[in-house]
Amino acid sequence: MRGAGAGGMGRQLKSEPIALLGIGKIARDQHIPAIARSDAFHLTATVSRSGGVDGVENHTDIAALLAARPDIGVVSLCMPPVPRFDIAMAALAAGKHVMLEKPPGATVSEVHKLERLARAKGVTLFATWHSRHAAGVARARAHLRDARITHVQIDWREDVRRWHPGQDWIWQAGGLGVFDPGINALSIMTAVLPQPVHLTAATLAFPANRDTPIAADLVFAGAAGLRVDAAFDWRQEGPQSWTITVQTTDGELRLTDGGATLHIDGVLQTVAGIGEYPGLYHRFAELIEAGQSDVDTSPLAHVADAFLLGRRTTVAAFHD
């Protein structure tokens, strides 16, 4: 449920100490720089078994962090979704405000359980979708609010060896495979379309030696005959493509570069933003101040539907 109240009174944040858990590629590339730019938070501690951050105290697990630093009331979780649930439960049970890297969980049900615990403890839970903070997304949503949409084409094609080198967890059950980037497209789709859509067909291509798909073709249906076609592929070589094209009765809207660039009827639009991950931490601070949570599971539900409804095909084995 998007924007659900977390209970309790809001409070003004003034550079609150925050702990970052899971110091991998996404933490180093995005979270640490975003926190460094934030006026609301300063990085005070990390939890990592493979190395922390220079100049910041590090702990081996969530229990050690909670015992050593009861003064830290805010945590951001960056580890893969399968091990994240128990850590999030421990943090919420201890009364911490929790931010979840996308996808918010390995299953929809566990995210709902986290949401219930956050509500019971009166703390903020923020299930993030970083692509919704891409520069062109808010403008696209506003433009489409009253539009008559006839067709949407999503093309999300990238080279897994370039973007996820050596990340075996992503090929294991619960790792999502090509839906790890594809869910970013679904998070934009669910943000900009004025009416919901539902999955009607899917084909999932699994490498012979992997538990998660390397490609997926999806079809969604909406009101008044709306159709959405989505193609996700991790085998793209050369130029990478993260594009959403929306046809309306009044013209065409196109988001490219993962939502960063917006064209309307072929004309480049001027859009601005503070950046995807800085935008997440700004939103997290707003939610804590307001005493609210933001837990929208709709992109994850679409992925779950794809695994439920999808026709499985086997393709060539993948070797990193």
Residue 9 and residue 239: Cα distance in Å, rounded?
A: 49
Q: Which of 74, 78, 10, 88 is nearest to 42 (CA)?
A: 74
102 catalytically annotated: yes
Within 10 Å of residue 186's Cβ, how many Cβ atoms?
Answer: 29
Residue 294 DSSP one-character state = B
Catalytic-role residue among 14, 25, 96, 102: 102
In this structure, the chain runs to a length of: 320
**Cβ contact 99:75 at 8 Å:** yes
Q: Which of 112, 2, 3, 34 is nearest to 280 (CA)?
A: 34
Residues 6+ apart with CB under 8 A from 304: 107, 108
Residues 6+ apart with CB under 8 A from 148: 224, 248, 249, 250
Residue 245 and residue 248: Cα distance in Å, rounded?
A: 10
Q: Which of 269, 242, 3, 276 is nearest to 142 (CA)?
A: 269
Radius of gyration of the chain (CA): 20
- Token readout for 143 is 């433009």
Residues known to be catalytic: 102
